[in-house]
Amino acid sequence: MNTIQKISVMIPFHDEKDNLPILIDGLQKELLQTGKKYEILLIDDGSLDTYLPSIQHFVNSDTIQLIKLNRQMGKGKALAEGIIHASGDAILFMDADLQDDPADISSFIKKIESGYDFVNGHRYTRKDNSIIKLYSLTARWFLHNYLHSPFTDINCGFKMFRKQILEDVALYGNNFRFLPLAAFYEGYRVGEVHVENKPRIHGKSKYGIDKLFVGLIDMLSAYFLYKFAEKPLHFFGGVGAILFGIGGLALAWVTYERIFMGVLLYRRPALLYAIFLVILGIQIIMTGIIGELIVYLHNKKKI
Ligand code: UDP
Ligand code: MG
């Protein structure tokens, strides 16, 4: 029952001309050795280089498909597009830059076949610079403590999972980074395998330092979605109540001083701040109530 019938390998790429032929060659050799049926889906995320002549002879074979996006839409969109065309029961995500080693595929297969639904790579020999490493450590700490993540290296792009999980876990926008966590929350059995991580030799990384910023936003949205999507008032209510409370106290203080100490209100900027905080607090609480209403109506429809 746990045996994988067919592996669909997803390779999103943008300007990876020098890497693609080496990758496809290595991948094919490795996949043949596994004895499984397989397909390789190369998803061209709006590449501007002339990569086609170097891989044309591969693409004509029936196990390798080339899917082209009209323009650069991002890795997440490329992966989502690839999944639409995937026919295997196991999906493997892999980067095109030769940083992931096809030799590790057999460990993924073994782990999935031993009963796991989602297996994420863990790069134990990371080739990132120290800023990224520090960021990853902080992110891991946050994910462990606040999102109960069981993963050591959630950002590792090398991963394999049973296609069936996509019935419960939506892949959209940038959330491919949090797919392992989403699978975990949906009750799937998740695990990790150690994978090799080689330095990039050809081409440039597609992400600069802005990757850290995007990662932070993604982490916050994951935090919000997984913690509060079903109970938005817990989040908005808390924030709103704090602001409302501070504003209310300040108002009470200003009023007390006006009545009992004769401090004239036109000289009190604190009055303006207090009113502002009270209104802001109410607005935020109202947003939470509207959120609750949406969740309620959505679930009512389902029943
Ligand atoms: N990639 C893509 N579209 C993008 C950015 C990246 O298809 O907009 C691909 C890229 O070609 C590579 C993979 O996603 O195959 C990972 O990108 P990269 O190696 O640049 O990321 P890093 O390893 O530096 O995080
Ligand atoms: Mg890379």
Q: What is the CATH number of the domain that holds 221?
A: 3.90.550.10
Domain boundary among 228, 247, 278: 228
Q: Which residue from 55, 197, 198, 206 has its CB within 8 A of the most atoms of ligand 1, so it is best to mutate?
A: 206
Residue 98 domain flag: yes
Q: Are residues 264 and 284 in the same domain?
A: yes
Residue 59 domain flag: yes
Number of domains forming the structure of the chain: 2
Residue 109 domain flag: yes
Q: Are residues 51 and 86 in the same domain?
A: yes
Residues 105, 107: Cα–Cα separation, whole Å? 5
Domain boundary among 191, 213, 228: 228
Residue 1 domain flag: no
Domain boundary among 228, 261, 276: 228
Q: What is the 3-state secondary structure (H, E, C) of 104-135?
A: HHHHHHHHHHCCCCEEEEEECCCCCCHHHHHH
Alpha helix (H) residue ranges in the chain: 20-34, 52-59, 75-85, 105-113, 130-147, 179-185, 210-228, 232-261, 269-302
Q: Are residues 181 and 255 in the same domain?
A: no
Q: Are residues 179 and 243 in the same domain?
A: no
Q: Are residues 223 and 239 in the same domain?
A: no
Instruction: Specify the residue with its C-alpha closest to ligand 1, atom 11.
Output: 13
Low-confidence residues in the chain, pLDDT < 50: none
Q: Give the number of the atom of ligand 1 that is nearest the alpha carbon of residue 73.
A: 8
Residue 36 pLDDT: 94
Instruction: Specify the residue with its C-alpha closest to ligand 1, atom 24.
Output: 205
Given a contact cutoff of 8 angstroms between Cβ atoms, the answer to whether 183 and 108 are in contact is no
Instruction: Specify the residue with its C-alpha closest to ligand 1, atom 13.
Output: 95
d(CA 11, ligand 1 centre) in Å:
10
Q: What is the pTM of this model?
A: 0.83
Q: Are residues 244 and 204 in the same domain?
A: no
Residue 98 beta carbon below 6 angstroms from any ligand 1 atom: no
Q: Are residues 121 and 160 in the same domain?
A: yes
Residue 127 pLDDT: 65
Q: Are residues 22 and 125 in the same domain?
A: yes
Q: Are residues 10 and 126 in the same domain?
A: yes
Q: Are residues 142 and 42 in the same domain?
A: yes
Residue 1 pLDDT: 64
Q: Are residues 191 and 155 in the same domain?
A: yes
d(CA 76, ligand 1 centre) in Å:
10
Instruction: Specify the residue with its C-alpha closest to ligand 1, atom 7.
Output: 13
DSSP secondary structure string for all residues of 182-224: HHHHTT--EEEEEE-BPPP-SS--S--THHHHHHHHHHHHHHH
Residue 207 beta carbon below 6 angstroms from any ligand 1 atom: yes
Residues 292, 278: Cα–Cα separation, whole Å? 21
Q: Are residues 128 and 92 in the same domain?
A: yes
Residue 63 domain flag: yes
Residue 123 beta carbon below 6 angstroms from any ligand 1 atom: no
Domain extent, residue 190, equals 6-228
For residue 100, what is the DSSP state? Answer: B
Residue 281 domain flag: yes
d(CA 74, ligand 1 centre) in Å:
8
CA distances from 156 to 26, 126, 193, 197, 199 (A): 20, 10, 11, 9, 14
Residue 13 beta carbon below 6 angstroms from any ligand 1 atom: yes
Residue 39 beta carbon below 6 angstroms from any ligand 1 atom: no
Residue 192 domain flag: yes
Each as own residue / partner, the long-range contacts of residues 214-217 (CB below 8 Å, 24 or more positions apart, any chain) are 214/174, 215/135, 215/139, 215/155, 215/177
Q: Give the number of the atom of ligand 1 that is nearest the alpha carbon of residue 78.
A: 7
Q: Give the number of the atom of ligand 1 that is nearest the alpha carbon of residue 15.
A: 11
